[in-house]
Structure 1
Amino acid sequence: MTATSQQSFSIHSVGTLYLVPTPIGNLQDMTFRAVETLKQVDLIAAEDTRNTQKLLNNFEINTKQISFHEHNTNERIPELLDWLSQGQDIAQVSDAGMPSISDPGEKLVAAAIDSGIPVVPLPGANAGLTALIASGLAPQPFYFYGFLNRKTTTQADELAELAQHSETIILYEAPHRLKKTLLAIQAAVGDERPVVLCRELTKRYEEFVRGTVSEVLVWLAEHQPRGEFVILLGGNPQPITNEVSDPLLGLSITDHVDMLIGQGLKPNEAIKQVAKARELKKQAVYAVYHHLNEDN
């Protein structure tokens, strides 16, 4: 018996779900295997069919598309599973990068696995790792978080927890929220933590902005952010442990201030003490506590 390739597109009792990465900017990063897979499957489930069509046109791929995004996940997954169960092969793609990373692919994958449908991942472009290896920060261990919550109070809680990680942290952010997010990072980790902004990865105007949090904020004040950003935050060299003498430091900034107010301090004095305990600027703690810079 001769060995056969795992990647087969003949008719089976059930189909296969292929997870196909797409370029994050430079079309030359599309792999031969990805092109061949998209040509051979019966259907492509795309985050944005208009965006993916440009990619398909470039590589002369004529496979039919169907939309699959965060707003139609619940109705689309049963349809895709039905087609897969009938023996059709489906490729799922994001607008850029790896499926399932910051897109609804994870739900489709879980549903396919639960239904006994084979899932085949293809390797390819990823913005977080591409940024990490050229950042100058420690590439391992790293902690991928992706997009922070947009609600200011929830985001502050997330960053308070992330601030204690000793690993390099990978975040994603849109240009119009970049300043607000960096100010929230400043409130959580202070001015001196190393940070790297990465924009337009693999494209003509690819750029890395390296410095401390305060230095990068100065750069941001002088430049208009364009393109999707990867934010790399240096790890905490002295994270707070459970053995810390002040357990309040393990709380979020907002909860820390509220706890001191509950103990009888006035709000401004509580904010001052929290800033001193965490070695942060009073203005930064004030902004987090009073939910300043909220998105409209």
Structure 2
Amino acid sequence: MMAEDVREIKPPEPPPEPAEVPKPTELSNRSGAKAHGQPLESQLSAHQDAHDAAQSEYAKALDVGIQPGGGPPSEYNGPERRLHDAQHLDPAHDLRRQTPRPGDQDFDPGKHRGELHDAFRAGVHDPDRLFNVTEHRIADRLAEDGASVHPRERDDTVPGKKNPDAMVRNSPDDVGTITEFKTLKSADSSAVRRNILDAAEQVDQYGGGNVVIDGRGVNLTDESAGRGYARAVGQAKQMDLPMPERVEIIMGDGSIKVFPEERAYV
């Protein structure tokens, strides 16, 4: 008889001990250290306070259009985008400092917004002859209707910075509107459209503004002006481009048409 092959049967190993669960009074912080001996509620409160402080700093940064660290917010449009562009393209522009007001020594009525009150005078105020010939013609036309027009001094020291032509006020209590002047070289609607969109890009960097287009030299008609404006609106919507807040077009006869208006052009 053959001997049976008897193998030793070992009992199964016991399951591993469960990992030690931290006591309620132990809470890891961001650095990996543990806070011992403090009640859980106190530790949670401290963490919440730190979180709230960080959120507050971030919100303050967004209020001036800047992300912590100096860059723009990753997703922003409209006023936030324009504010960020203005601050970073013009180092002197910082809304965290007081903007000069009328009466201040460094107030410039062409650069700074503000009501002129008793100092308001209709006319073109260009003692340094900053306007060129075509710009001065437009300013003179606005002054005929009672506007006070100041030129804005160019600053070409900052790459990419736009230089709209004028600050226009229409009453003593008007804070002023940054305005770009354009003179047409063609009377077709494409020229009107192109100049509107070009001017919009100029003023958009400063939070928006107006454009005045002079069509007297090409005898611009109402039809071309209206179609050009409508085409500019259509292209701006299609391509997500800025539009001026107000468009004034000086017609061939010297009258001024203002857009937007109620009547639609097709």
Larger Rg: 2
Higher helix share: 1
Q: Which has the higher contact order (CA 8 A, sep 6+)?
A: 1
**Taking structure 1 as the reference length, what is the TM-score of the superposition?**
0.23
**Taking structure 2 as the reference length, what is the TM-score of the superposition?**
0.24
